Structures are given as C-alpha cells and as structure tokens.
Amino acid sequence: MSFVILSILLSGQLSFGQQCLTGGSLFVNEFSGTNASGEPEWIEFVVVGDPANPTAPVNLEGWIIDDNNNPVSGVGTATGHLRLGSLFNAMIPGTIIVIYDGEVVPFAPWPDDGTPNADGVWVIPHNQSDILICQSNPSVIPPNPLYEPCTNYSYTAWASCMGLSNSGDGVQVRQPDATFYHGVYYGLAAGVFAPGETTGNLMVGNIQSSLDCGDWFDAGNYSDLTPTPGEPNSPLNEALINRIAAGTLDCDDIDVACTLFTCPVIDDIVFENDITGICVNTDFDITATGLGNMAETDNGEADFGVRFVYFTGIVPPADPYTGGTDITVVPFGALTGIHPDQTATASVSFPTAGEYNICVVLDPEFTQLTDCEPFACRPITVWEEPEAELSGTHDFCPGDCHQISVQISGGEAPYEVTLRIISFIFNIPITIPSYDLDDQMVICFDGSLPIPTYDIATNTLHIPTIFSGSASLIIDNVIDNHGCSTSVINPNNLTLNFF
Ligand SMILES: [Ca+2]
Ligand SMILES: [Ca+2]
Ligand SMILES: [Ca+2]
Ligand SMILES: [Ca+2]
C-alpha cells in the first residue's frame, strides 16, 4: 500500500481527495518572508475539516511547520521546525492561524495575539509556550526523501529554525508522522522541500504570496496580493474559507468553491390589514416583504423562495430555522416584484385559539455562508369563536309573552345576534347589536300589524294576533367583540305555536 502511495507521489500527480485529509488538515494560505520594517516573517494557515465530518473540530496536535528542509546550500534551509502542541487539539474548520517570528515585536496594524483573539483568529508568536521548537533536525540525505523530525525540543530563535531567506525558501506543513501535506516555494527555481518530495513543490514565485481561491495544491492560485495576516486574502479567499467553515467544500473540486456569495435579505413579514388578531378558522394573507438577492444570479448559490412557519407562544423564536410547523412554501418562481424588494404572499388560518408567531425563512436554506439565516417574525393572536344554540317550544295564547333563551358561550362579549323568525307567511331577520344574555328577548303574541315587529326599546318581538299556526325562531349568526362568528349552531330551532 505504501509503495502505491509513494509511486503516486513520485509521479507528481495528486491522488483523488488528497486535498482534504481524513481527520482534517492545515494548509498554507499566505506567508511573508520579507522582514519588512516592523513586521515579522509569518505564515498564515487555514484549518480544513475531515471530509466525512467537515465541521467537526480537528486535532492538529503534533503537526509540523517548517521552512525549506532540502539539505542543499543556497536554498534557504534552516534545520529544525515547529510542532503544534495540545493547544491545537480541537481547531474549528475554517479557522485562520498566523504563526510569526516571536523575536520581532510587530508594529501596528499587526493583529492582536490570541488563541483566538477578539476577531476569532489565532495569531501566535512561534515562541508561544504550546509550540514546540527545535533546531537539530530534519536531516534529509539525497536521494532519501524521508523527513526525520526532531526528538528533542527546546527554545530556538525563528531565524535558526524557520528563517525565510529573501532569495528563496519555502514554507510547509507536515502531519504528526512527518508525512508531507502542503507547502509552497518562492524564489529559487530549483527549490524542493526534499529530493523526491515532488508533490509539494509548488513554486508560487513571490516572497509574499497569498492564495486567492481554489485548490491550494495549484501554485497558479497563489499570487502576490497585499498581505493580510489574520484575515482572508481576498473576497474569493473569504468565500473559500466560509465554505470550509460551513462544511460545504467539495474537496475533489475545490475550484467550484470560488464564487462570491451574497446572503439573501428578508426584511419583514406583514399581515393583511395589519391585523394583530384573527378568529379561528379564518383565512388571512401573510406577506414576506423586502426580499432581496433571492435569485441565484444575485446570491451565487441558488434561486430561493421562502417558507412560512409558525410557532406557538407570544415570544418570537430565537431560530425560526429550527422547529415550528410549516405553513407553506412560496417558491422562487412565485415571488412577485423586483429585487431587492420582492414579496411572497400566502394564506393561513388557525384551527385553535392562542398566541402564535408566524415567521418567514429562506427555502431552501443557504448552505454556503455559516451566518446566512435571514428571517422575520410577527405575533398573531387567534381568538376562539362564540358558540350558540337555541331549542325548545313555546305555546302562545293571545296576550302571552315568553322570554327566549339563546345559549352563547366562548368568544368575547358583547355579541351581535341575528335571529330569524320563519313561518309559512313571513321570514324576518331581527338583528340585536348588543345582545344581553341576562335579559334576553321577549316574544309576545300581542301584535296588531300583519307581520312581526321588534321593539328595540323593550327588547320585545311582537307577533300579530291574527297569526295562527307554528313558527320557528333560529339563530342566523352570532358575532362577538372580535368580529368572530359562530360556525356551528346546533340545535338551532325554537318552535313557537300560536293558538
Ligand atoms: Ca526573510
Ligand atoms: Ca529558511
Ligand atoms: Ca526548518
Ligand atoms: Ca491573510
């Protein structure tokens, strides 16, 4: 097996998937070997996750950082190297690490030291206590390509173990067992890390070189951008790092990651007529507004629609992308308006009274930026509807009066009640705007007109005495103080017999 791997390495080709190692890895993102006034020599790395679990922390304890180790004079070789300690045993993928010459006190605007610092970046002098330093090894004797790391570590100046020659040198990263992982060269055309280790011979040319974007095993992706220790090297480099952090990097086709992404915008969610409450089982429109960058041509990822989702309770959810109950999805093609002010409208009703929050989120979710989860939420109160019933029989002789009893429950008083009295000769609605449940309508068989009349002052329905036979009193509707109507009235028939 090892022979096969060695053969591949010697052939100068990359094995498929080598870019991202099982267990995670660390590549050289940028470096400066210039000793510019006020700035130390430094190397910037980016942590890459395990392809099988790309956002899990990576154990980099024992990884080796080195300059050129080719035992040939005139190629910048400084024996010795650095080895990362236990401080690095759980590094989040996408983390930027800068290791610099600890003998040089940098001038501003050098980023603050930290593990990590306030910006979340690890900026560490090489003489930090948890970095092991040595000067004695490696010893690499041509044509033996084996890299033999130190066995004894003690404090050594950067220049003695890591010094980056202005005429040409290299920076490299090796796994704990000293297997070469990644490195780049500059200056000396004949530079190699060690005879036979052709895989890592990436001649980037410039003593200050930065990966813009793409496969870090392709020297063509490095150029002499303005150095940015502790920060992404360019917008595209940031896009690459964001994908690494999000766990969405395709390690077999890293170059496709070099697209700038823009997070879509969701400005607000509004309800029809700006309502703050609605009756149960009543449809109302909900509209997501101020939608921007929803098209793939604007965000670089996909055409996005929105998903409406609701949560119980009056307190808005901290993360409406998690939990909740789906209402509906409005796909990209159903958005209206023009970027950056598109809208999406849906209709919703709730079968159960209570307090809810309705939220709008992206559909599908944005995967390329870790912090791209725009949303808007708005609370709504759902009111219960009143329930009513009417039943029984009343017999009337001329002059008789009976008080009826409409049973109303639920909803909120006052109620507007619409009754209807029906017989074979009349069919008359009676609307009572503020129905008094304690002093309900009276029906008297004492009217003189040819049809029944309702007297609002006495809350009395007068039936003309010329009438004879049966009539029905039914409830047409009950509307409560919120405007919620009865949906079911059962039983709903008071029989009135006139003799
Ligand atoms: Ca130098
Ligand atoms: Ca060197
Ligand atoms: Ca060295
Ligand atoms: Ca940088």
CATH number where 272 lies: 2.60.40.10
CA of 243 to the centre of ligand 1 (A): 32
CA of 72 to the centre of ligand 2 (A): 11
Measured from the alpha carbon of residue 79, the closest ligand is 3
Instruction: Note the pLDDT of residue 366.
Output: 93
Measured from the alpha carbon of residue 65, the closest ligand is 3
Q: Quick check: is 263 in a domain?
A: no
Q: Quick check: is 23 in a domain?
A: yes
Instruction: Note the pLDDT of residue 354.
Output: 97
Give the position of tokens 């409409």.
406
Q: Quick check: is 154 in a domain?
A: yes
CA of 152 to the centre of ligand 2 (A): 20
Measured from the alpha carbon of residue 81, the closest ligand is 3
Instruction: Note the pLDDT of residue 105.
Output: 87
| Residues 109 and 23 placed together within one structural domain of the fold | yes
Q: Quick check: is 160 in a domain?
A: yes
| Residues 90 and 187 placed together within one structural domain of the fold | yes
Instruction: Note the pLDDT of residue 148.
Output: 85
| Residues 332 and 354 placed together within one structural domain of the fold | yes
Low-confidence ranges of the chain (pLDDT < 70): 1-17, 139-145, 189-201
| Residues 359 and 473 placed together within one structural domain of the fold | no
Instruction: Note the pLDDT of residue 197.
Output: 59
CA of 91 to the centre of ligand 2 (A): 27
Q: Quick check: is 405 in a domain?
A: yes
Residue 46 domain boundaries: 2-257
Q: CA 483 to CA 61: how far, in whole Å?
A: 68
Instruction: Note the pLDDT of residue 144.
Output: 60
pTM above 0.75, yes or no: no
Measured from the alpha carbon of residue 45, the closest ligand is 4
| Residues 378 and 401 placed together within one structural domain of the fold | no
Mean of per-residue pLDDT scores for the chain: 90
Q: Quick check: is 262 in a domain?
A: no
CA of 68 to the centre of ligand 3 (A): 6
What's the total number of domains in the chain?
Answer: 3
| Residues 272 and 247 placed together within one structural domain of the fold | no
Burial 223-260 (b: 16+ CB within 10 A, else e): bebebbbbbbbbebbbbbbbbbbbbbbebeebeebbee
Near ion ligand 4, which residues have CB within 5 Å? 30, 44, 228, 233
Q: Quick check: is 346 in a domain?
A: yes
Instruction: Note the pLDDT of residue 9.
Output: 37
